[in-house]
Amino acid sequence: MEVGLSFVPCPRLPVRGSLIRSRALLALASATALAPLSAQSPIPGSRISNAGVLRADSTVAAVFLERSRLVDTADIGDFASHLLARLGVPPFADSLGFGVTADSLQIKIVGRLADFPPESRVELSPIFFFVDSLTPFTAEIALIDQANGVMRFRLRRVLVSGYPVPELLLLPALREYDRRYPVLANGGRDLLVAMPPEATVKLVTDGIELRMP
């Protein structure tokens, strides 16, 4: 099914490395060593899944292409699944272990290093080198642009056991994703998604509302 969203190509910008990354690693290790162990707590939110890709595809097509509905809401986990599939991420296991929630201000993706596919764990090793694979993390993402033909999602920060990951550790992973996916911008921090110019979107509780006039 052809859906009514596409990604916006972005120019590549160089990101310079840091000579003091080891200090940031030690700071993160010290902070997480003092954090309470909560890896066994249930992860809130809906899951990223192959079935979610299909559900979100159907919602996007109904509003933006077929216009059989002028407004509809996609589950935020389903919509995250849809965006990953459109990026070209290979089909994943039945459901990744991440939980995805949303409110009117931001999206939160919660999980553990162990929930990533093996190849992704290698890419993220600068962040999680000193952290147990069961330690919880949270990615906070804002929806910056919501109209005029573009959705812009921005990674605000990543937290490990409630402690923000220093930028010096986050930048290498963002730089690799920025290189791999041309639709990313702002050093790998922003994802730009094209939509019909008259469309608008907004975050709602655990969903994203799609609307046509």
**Average pLDDT of 124-148?**
83
pLDDT tens digits for range 37-89:
444 567 889 999 889 999 999 999 999 999 999 999 999 999 999 998 888 77
Q: Both tokens of residue 211?
A: 């609307």
**Average pLDDT of 166-190?**
84
Domain ranges, residue 53 = 6-33+46-211
Residue 196: inside a domain, yes or no? yes
Give the total number of structural domains in the chain.
1
Residue 38: inside a domain, yes or no? no
Residue 187: inside a domain, yes or no? yes
Residue 180: inside a domain, yes or no? yes
Residue 40: inside a domain, yes or no? no
Residue 55: inside a domain, yes or no? yes
Residue 1: inside a domain, yes or no? no
The three-class DSSP label of residue 141 is strand
Give the chain's mean pLDDT. 80
pLDDT at 137: 87
pLDDT at 136: 86
Residue 41: inside a domain, yes or no? no
CA atoms within 13 A on the CB side of 56: 25
Characterise 160 by phi-psi region: left (phi > 0), alpha (psi -120 to 50), beta (else): beta
pTM for the predicted model, two decimal places: 0.80
Q: Are 9 and 190 contacting, i.e. CB atoms less than 8 angstroms apart? A: no
d(CA 184, CA 152): 10
